[in-house]
Amino acid sequence: MCFSLIEQFSTQFFKYSMMTKFLALIPAAGSGSRMGNELPKQYLPLDNHPMIYHAINTLWHNPLITQIIVVLAPDDTVWFKYDWSHFSKKLIILNCGGVTRAESVLNGLLTAKQQLNLVNSHDWILVHDAARPCLSMLQLENLINGLAEDEVGGLLAIPVADTLKLGNAKHRIMQTQPRENLWQAQTPQMFRYDLLVKALNNAANVNITDDASAIEALGLHPKLVPSDARNLKVTYPHDLALAELILQQRSDL
Ligand code: CTP
Ligand code: MG
């Protein structure tokens, strides 16, 4: 049983690693304005670590991911107050964050290839928000296994469970929206380097909040890989307590 699992893993590892590399990129240049704390939210304490530690740790434990690129704001003074040596050379820090998330991702991608020669055109990039600390090893594996042979790439997402209302400016319901086929996008979002750079360049003047939107703007259809609500994004103060509970109950790391 154990042997066959190892065999299955090595076959997968060999198959994927022969074709392409998997790199993670974490945009972490935001200020966390909705959190309302002076400290950018990626550094807020969560289960005995700054929040961003948890996303890095999960990505670091996946053996297919060869490099984790963290994109910080150019004026970030907080990162270096912590000891990250545990993650060693697999972790790359770039101080080239932009004004928007999309700009931070694009700057990080361009720097990683043009200045550091870390990545090839066909490598897979897994873009993951620093603000999603509860990503599990299984969700990450499902994403990679679900997309590694895909033409376009895709993202973790969950089918919408609540009834959806379209409201007006006075908070009066105008319509109930059918929720069939509606999904909530999460991260990581996984696309090949050259396609992602092309998409983000193309969407440079459009207000997008995730990478898949830029790919969609090229007329492509990213794949939705089912995830679950535990991979929440920490946006408001009350999200922190929930994230802490999820992290304390996880048993995969
Ligand atoms: N991000 C980034 N560069 C920006 C804005 C956001 O790298 N200019 C990153 C954030 O650090 C976060 C991710 O994108 O890891 C998702 O963004 P979000 O949750 O919106 O974080 P913030 O933009 O920091 O929060 P807010 O929108 O409340 O200000
Ligand atoms: Mg934001």
Q: For 166-220, what is each residue's pLDDT tens digit?
A: 999 999 999 999 999 999 999 999 999 999 999 999 999 899 999 999 999 999 9
Ligand nearest to the CA of 101: 1
Atom of ligand 1 nearest to the CA of 100: 8
> If you average pLDDT over residues 224-253, what whole number do you get?
97
Q: For 40-57, what is each residue's pLDDT tens digit?
A: 999 999 999 999 999 999
Q: How confident is the model at residue 1 (pLDDT cuts 50, 70, 90)?
A: very low
- The Cα 18–Cα 80 span in angstroms is 35
Q: How far is the CA of 11 from the centre of ligand 1 (A)?
A: 37
3-state secondary structure of 91: strand
Provide the H-helix boundaries in 76-180: 101-110, 137-147
- The ligand 1 site (C-beta within 6 Å) comprises 27-35, 41-42, 71, 97-101, 104, 129-131, 233, 235
Please report, for the domain that includes residue 191, its CATH number: 3.90.550.10
Question: Residue 75's domain spans which residues?
Answer: 2-249
Residues 145, 150, 153, 157, Cα dihedral to 10°: -50
Atom of ligand 1 nearest to the CA of 34: 28
Q: For residue 19, what pLDDT is reported?
A: 74
User: What does the DSSP assignment read for 162-217?
Assistant: S-EEEE-TTS-EEEEEP-TT-EEEEEEEEEEHHHHHHHHHHTTTS--SSHHHHHHT
Say whether the peptide bond before residue 63 is cis (omega within 30 degrees of 0).
no
Q: For 84-114, what is each residue's pLDDT tens digit?
A: 999 989 999 999 999 999 999 999 999 999 9
Rounded alpha-carbon distances, angstroms, from residue 18 to 15, 21, 23, 135: 6, 8, 15, 26
Domain count, the chain: 1
CB neighbour class for 32 (10 Å; exposed up to 12, middle 13-18, buried from 19): buried
Q: CA geometry: angle at 16 spanning 13 and 19, to 5°? A: 140
Q: How far is the CA of 29 from the centre of ligand 1 (A)?
A: 6
Q: For 5-27, what is each residue's pLDDT tens digit?
A: 556 555 555 555 557 999 999 99
Q: Which of 31, 94, 100, 101 for a ligand 1 pocket mutation test, highest count of atoms within 8 Å of Cβ?
A: 101
